[in-house]
Amino acid sequence: MNIYVNDKPTEVLQDTSIHSLLKFMKIDSFQGIAIGINDQVIPRKEWDLKSLKENDKVLLIRASQGG
């Protein structure tokens, strides 16, 4: 199944959850990460429940520290 992560085409398995996607992307720490799917912010408590669908547009934002 094809999705877009930060506008980059990415192939994942059918019914992949957000949590599974982050593991697939080798993101170990979820602290400071926000996820949006098709312009809707997904609360962290729903990451295990929310399954991605064909052509979903996932926006992954990482907070950074600095000044």
Strand partners, 61: 34
The CATH number that applies at residue 33 is 3.10.20.30
Structural domain contains residue 67:
no
Q: Which stretches of 1-67 are assigned E, i.e. beta strand? A: 2-5, 8-11, 33-37, 40-42, 57-62
Residue 28: what pLDDT? 83
For the chain, percent helix, then strand, then coil, each to nearest 5? 15, 35, 50
Structural domains in the chain (count): 1
Residues of the chain with confidence (pLDDT) below 70: 66-67
**Predicted local distance difference test score (pLDDT) of residue 59:** 97
40, part of any domain: yes
pLDDT of 67 reads 57
What does the pLDDT read at residue 43?
Answer: 96
